[in-house]
Structure 1
Amino acid sequence: MHAHARTSDPITSHIAAAEVSMSGQRAFQAQTTAAAVKRYPGKTSRELSVLLKLDRHMLGRRLSECEEEKLVRRGAMRRCATSGRLSLTWWPPDVAEQLALPIEEIAA
């Protein structure tokens, strides 16, 4: 299971993490995140946040958690259309397997 706050984080972070979990927000956000990746495969987290009008930091946290749960898969890096930066892409696990995508790709 994923630690929702680092041991070095202040107590307020642990309290907030517990509240997000107990309220059901974390599960709802994870479900929304996995559905977004399925609907928009191959997008970066920033592109997904713009498309869905979601906070990109929340989305980034849920993408990591969804990856641990094997609900999404990290794909190759490419230039993000939103930020212009080199970024990871995110894929549904079934699509990623069909395309034989690498877990990570270091860009030159």
Structure 2
Amino acid sequence: MSVFRDVAAWDEPDESDRRLDVVLDRWAQELLTRMEQPYVLMVRSTWQTEYLGPFPHAMAAAAAAEDELAGNRVLPPEEHVAVRLIPLVPPIADES
């Protein structure tokens, strides 16, 4: 028995593999869901913060972020902008 399997030493190897497959499948599905939801960009500089978008999915937002960051090359370091992708999620209904 390997020392790396101590956490689930009572499991059969096939059972541990199936559990790992389930976890990885759920994780991959969550990532795909996040990629397909709308995003906005938050662009921050020393003097201001602005929001751009919404973008229909993460790839469109990432492309816009690349465009924003490309401008940093011509700016002095103190004027560089920081860009953050922010997912837009539906509001949670108040159940009270």
TM-score range, shorter chain: under 0.3
Q: Which has the higher contact order (CA 8 A, sep 6+)?
A: 2
- Look at both structures and tell me which one has the larger radius of gyration over its CA atoms: 2
